[in-house]
Amino acid sequence: MWNEPYLETCCRSALNRLRIARALGRPPGLKDGPCLARLAGMGFCRERPDGRFEITEAGIDRHRTEILKEPRAA
């Protein structure tokens, strides 16, 4: 049974950009800002004190299964 929240295409793209950015993070005020806020609400990223968004461990796991299409870790 599928029990994970659905990610719109734009949010999947934002998650991929977060993964690519790594520790640098994504700055606020970009077009993917609403997606970053949504991803943060789901725990896939967080907003740092400097205002940039960085991916969380949950986001890395979701990226692995949804973007890279790797199987879930057992």
The CATH code of the domain that includes 41 is: 1.10.10
CA-closest candidate to residue 33, choices 50, 43, 47, 49 = 47
User: Residue 3 has what pLDDT?
Assistant: 67
Range of the domain at 45: 9-66
Element of type H or E holding 36: helix 33-41
Residue range 38-54: average pLDDT?
97
70 pLDDT tier (thresholds 50, 70, 90)? confident
In a domain, 33, yes or no: yes
CA-closest candidate to residue 13, choices 30, 24, 3, 57 = 30
What does the pLDDT look like over 13-28, one tens digit per residue?
999 999 999 999 999 9
In a domain, 72, yes or no: no
User: Residue 6 has what pLDDT?
Assistant: 87
In a domain, 44, yes or no: yes
Q: Has residue 2 got a pLDDT over 60?
A: no
Q: How many domains does the chain have?
A: 1
